[in-house]
């Protein structure tokens, strides 16, 4: 790993955004890996940031204590474990680009459906239920393991419930904290997380914690309507980013 000043500035920025996403701002989560990917391969960047995700998760879970949907957690966490196990067993057979394409289409499909309901005046909420939760939770675990993009399936399931802002953010934080802990052993086995990478990135631990605190404060400060508008915009941008990555991989000359 090239430890230039530019690398450490980029690593610091990526770590701060990781922390902010764990503090309740999922709209900045997509920035971490692309920033580091300027200096190292994306897979290595994802492995390097995973310990920072986990560290920020621990603090963020404490920040959101009491602010979550227990019913959703009871459904989503076991479901995501199933998805992670399936991804671990099938990772060599599932093209990364295929999973990115599925995730992007899921996210865009949800956004189009949400727009249709808004235009038709349908503002009803859809409560948490086990069948849908098992499906979307497993898909979130699967795609998070394969391509680090578990957000769209999670949001496709939880956003229609119209949860309060802090409940939504706390549920997302705790769900993905569990997903990241479950991803750690396979990442270690794959060599994406090593003692050397842990030593190199450990100096940025305070940045992750500051980012989590900052994200939590901004989440509390943002009006509910603006918060969810930003979540939907970020979801759309993430889907477009994933489609761009698929296009570059499948049609490099396009």
Alpha carbon distance 138, 136 (integer Å)? 5
pLDDT, greater one: 214 or 245: 214
Q: What is the pLDDT of residue 115?
A: 84
Answer for the pair 48, 32: CB distance below 8 angstroms, yes or no.
no
pLDDT, greater one: 58 or 45: 58
pLDDT at 46 over 70: no
> Where in the chain are the domains?
5-250
pLDDT at 176 over 80: yes
Q: What is the pLDDT of residue 62?
A: 93
Alpha carbon distance 17, 48 (integer Å)? 14
Contacts of 73 (CB under 8 A, 6+ apart): 171, 174, 175
Alpha carbon distance 48, 77 (integer Å)? 24
| Other C-beta atoms lying within 10 Å of the C-beta of residue 24 | 27
Token representation of residue 51: 């310990």
- 149-172, pLDDT tens digit by residue? 788 889 889 999 999 999 999 999
- 63-101, pLDDT tens digit by residue? 998 899 999 999 999 999 999 999 888 877 777 788 788
Mean pLDDT of 146-150: 76
Answer for the pair 103, 152: CB distance below 8 angstroms, yes or no.
yes
Q: What is the pLDDT of residue 113?
A: 85
Q: What is the pLDDT of residue 54?
A: 83
Q: What is the pLDDT of residue 40?
A: 67
pTM of the model: 0.82
Banded pLDDT at 179 (limits 50, 70, 90) = very high
Alpha carbon distance 251, 38 (integer Å)? 21
Mean pLDDT of 1-25: 78
pLDDT, greater one: 233 or 1: 233
Banded pLDDT at 44 (limits 50, 70, 90) = low
pLDDT at 56 over 80: yes
pLDDT at 180 over 80: yes
Closest to 245 measured CA to CA, from 90, 104, 91: 104
pLDDT at 197 over 70: no
Q: What is the pLDDT of residue 136?
A: 94
Packing angle of the helix pair 165-189, 151-158 (nearest 10 deg): 150
Whole-number average pLDDT of the chain: 83
Which H, E and C letters describe the chain, residue by residue?
A: CCCCHHHHHHHHHHHHHHHHHHCCCHHHHHHHHHHHCCCCCHHHHHHHHHHHHHHHHHHHHHHCCCCCCHHHHHHHHHHHHHHHHHHHHHCCCCCHHHHHHHHHHHHHHHHHHHHHHHHHCCCCCCCCCHHHHHHHHHHHHHHHHHHCCCHHHHHHHHHHHCCCHHHHHHHHHHHHHHHHHHHHHHHHHCCCCCHHHHHHHHHHHHHHHHHHHHHHHHHHHCCHHHHHHHHHHHHHHHHHHHHHHHHHHHCCCC
């Amino acid at each position: 790993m090239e430890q230039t000043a530019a690398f450490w500035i980029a690593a610091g920025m990526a770590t701060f955004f990781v922390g902010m996403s764990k503090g309740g701002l999922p709209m900045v989560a997509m920035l971490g890996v692309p920033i580091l990917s300027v200096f190292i391969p994306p897979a290595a960047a994802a492995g390097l940031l995973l310990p920072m995700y986990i560290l920020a998760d621990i603090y963020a879970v404490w920040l959101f204590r009491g602010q979550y949907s227990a019913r959703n957690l009871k459904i989503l966490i076991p479901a995501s474990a199933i998805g992670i196990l399936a991804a671990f067993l099938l990772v060599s057979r599932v093209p990364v680009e295929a999973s990115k394409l599925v995730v992007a289409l899921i996210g865009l499909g949800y956004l189009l459906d949400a727009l249709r309901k808004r235009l038709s005046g349908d503002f009803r909420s859809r409560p948490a239920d086990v069948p849908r939760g098992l499906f979307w939770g497993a898909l979130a675990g699967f795609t998070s393991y394969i391509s680090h993009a578990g957000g769209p399936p999670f949001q496709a399931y939880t956003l229609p419930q119209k949860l309060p802002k802090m409940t939504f953010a706390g549920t997302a934080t705790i769900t993905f904290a569990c997903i990241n802990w479950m991803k750690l052993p396979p990442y270690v086995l794959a060599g994406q997380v090593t003692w050397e990478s842990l030593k190199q990135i450990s100096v940025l631990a305070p940045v992750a914690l500051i980012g989590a605190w900052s994200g939590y404060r901004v989440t509390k400060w943002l009006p509910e309507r603006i918060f969810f508008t930003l979540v939907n915009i970020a979801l759309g941008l993430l889907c477009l980013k994933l489609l761009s990555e698929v296009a570059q991989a499948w049609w490099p000359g396009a």
